[in-house]
Structure 1
Amino acid sequence: MNIKHTPPLLTVGAAAYFRRHVPQARAETGKAAMGEVGAALSGSSWLLLIWQTCNLFMSVFFALATYVQINDPDAGLWMVGYGVPALLCAFIGLRPRVTETLAWRKVADLHVMISSAVVAMLGWTLYKEQITHIFHQEEGREFSGLMLTVVWLLLCRHSGRAPVGMPRVTIAVAITVFPFVAWLYYYINKELRVNWPSHCKNAI
């Protein structure tokens, strides 16, 4: 029975080759993987920063909305309606993972539930009275404001569970820009506020 043996020189050469090149290949693969992880972490950090900034801006907006209710006949009710989201957004802006705490979730869920009920009633009123220019009517502005709080709090729900993604941040930026632009537009064009009640004109 003949058994073929590998020539010693070939075996030694192969071993030397693997000792020389395999660690180098592994090192290059590791560097590439670390580079991809670093790029992903860098992208996530930017998205998180934008997300926190949006929440701080929305906190400011809801705080302003709270302030302008001081002349409203139902000031206490509406100040709570906007003040609670202002605080919740401020917490996210300072500590994004706060959305996973029990206290934050309970307060946010309660606010969303109550606001959704009020939004439904206001929406039915607008539909029944066939109001199309909702910003010209007090019920329409109340409807829009509460709807904004509901949408934003739903967007924030469980945002701290995992890194925020591009879709959530894109929606957040679009929503954040809209109320400031709309408020500035109505503030500059005073003729659009001619038919507003007096308590809606004098706050800011």
Structure 2
Amino acid sequence: MAPTGTPWAPGLWRACNLFMSAFFALAAVVQVNDPDAEFWVVVYMIPALLTLLVGFNPLVTGNFVWRSVSVIHMLFCGLWAGGLAHHFLRHAQQSILNEEEGRMKKVWKWWSQDSNPALSLGLLRAITNSTLLPESCLAW
């Protein structure tokens, strides 16, 4: 369980994951005007469901199915982001950092990989995620 000195850390971790779940779900909902909305709804709903599960039960990250879906999704998104970065670098007319695709998503999923409160990085990740939450909302 969580260290005795930080009783608020598990609650903060759950709140951050529930908030990010809502954020990803909202990102999926607003894709209706895109020509490829079906693709983007799936891309955003997978992390929405994964973070929702972590919000309800942080120990779910040890589950084989949860971890497999997360790793496969990150692999797919990483390969896609690499291809997109290559395309933007070759055809960029402005800075690549001005593009919205995948800036915060990969960081968030990497940080939520191991949310087991027994891990030493649990507190660090909870604090970092609570810092990334407002930034991701403002950037969006």
Return the TM-score normalized by structure 2: 0.88
CA contact (8 A) 2:24 2:48 kept: yes
Q: Deviations over 1:102-140 (max 9, x none)?
A: 1100100010000001111111122222321644xxxx2
Which of residues 134, 150, 153 in structure 1 aligns to 2:109? 153
Number of equivalences: 136
User: Who is 2:86 aligned against?
Assistant: 124
Runs of 4 or more, structure 1, over 3 Å off, are none
Structure with greater proportional helix content: 1
Q: Which amino acid aligns with 1:167?
A: L
CA distance in 2, matches of 1:161, 1:48: 7
User: Who is 2:129 aligned against?
Assistant: 172
CA distance in 1, matches of 2:61, 2:103: 20
Distance of aligned partners of 1:133 and 1:102 in 2 relative to their CA distance in 1, 3 Å threshold: closer
CA distance in 2, matches of 1:101, 1:128: 40
Work out which structure has the larger RCO, using CA pairs closer than 8 Å and 6 or more positions apart in sequence.
Answer: 2
User: Who is 2:76 aligned against?
Assistant: 114
Q: Which amino acid aligns with 2:123?
A: M
Q: Which amino acid aligns with 2:105?
A: T
Listed as ranges, the gaps of 5+ residues in structure 2 are none
C-alpha RMSD of the superposition: 1.7
Listed as ranges, the gaps of 5+ residues in structure 1 are 1-39, 184-204
User: Who is 2:38 aligned against?
Assistant: 76
User: Who is 1:91 aligned against?
Assistant: 53
